[in-house]
Amino acid sequence: NAGVTQTPKFRVLKTGQSMTLLCAQDMNHEYMYWYRQDPGMGLRLIHYSVGEGTTAKGEVPDGYNVSRLKKQNFLLGLESAAPSQTSVYFCASSDSAAREAQYFGPGTRLLVL
């Protein structure tokens, strides 16, 4: 049982490049989330999903897109990376029965030059 895994662990992009961050969970959780963490600002929700095939915007969705084609996977896409998107990205999941208790992956550190 690996819990929540994220790939890649670290990535450097140039401004304007695109990339996809992959999150996978093996706990059969219904809900999945993408956060960004910046120094001194805690975690901010980018997008979330309450089930396969559904997505919704969080607090800071601009510049990001997501897809949940399979229940166990939640993808975060950056179509045209900007330096302001330099951050650590965390994926989390939660069970439908105890949905507020979120389980986090180890994070992806992204640097946009």
Partner 1 sequence: GENVEQHPSTLSVQEGDSAVIKCTYSDSASNYFPWYKQELGKGPQLIIDIRSNVGEKKDQRIAVTLNKTAKHFSLHITETQPEDSAVYFCAASKGGNYQLIWGAGTKLIIKP
* Rg, C-alpha atoms of the chain: 13
99 binds partner 1 (CB under 8 A): yes
Using DSSP's 3-state secondary structure scheme, residue 19 falls into strand
Tally the C-alpha atoms within 13 A of residue 47's C-alpha that lie toward its C-beta: 20
Strand-pair partners of 97: none
Q: Which of residues 58-87 bind partner 1 (CB under 8 A)?
A: 58-59
18 vs 57 by CB, closer to partner 1: 57
How many Å apart are CA 93 and CA 81, to the nearest integer?
A: 25
Identified binder of partner 1 from the candidate list 14, 40, 62, 69, rule CB under 8 A: 40
34 binds partner 1 (CB under 8 A): no
Identified binder of partner 1 from the candidate list 13, 24, 29, 31, rule CB under 8 A: 31
25 binds partner 1 (CB under 8 A): no
Amino acid at 70: K
Identified binder of partner 1 from the candidate list 53, 106, 111, 113, rule CB under 8 A: 106
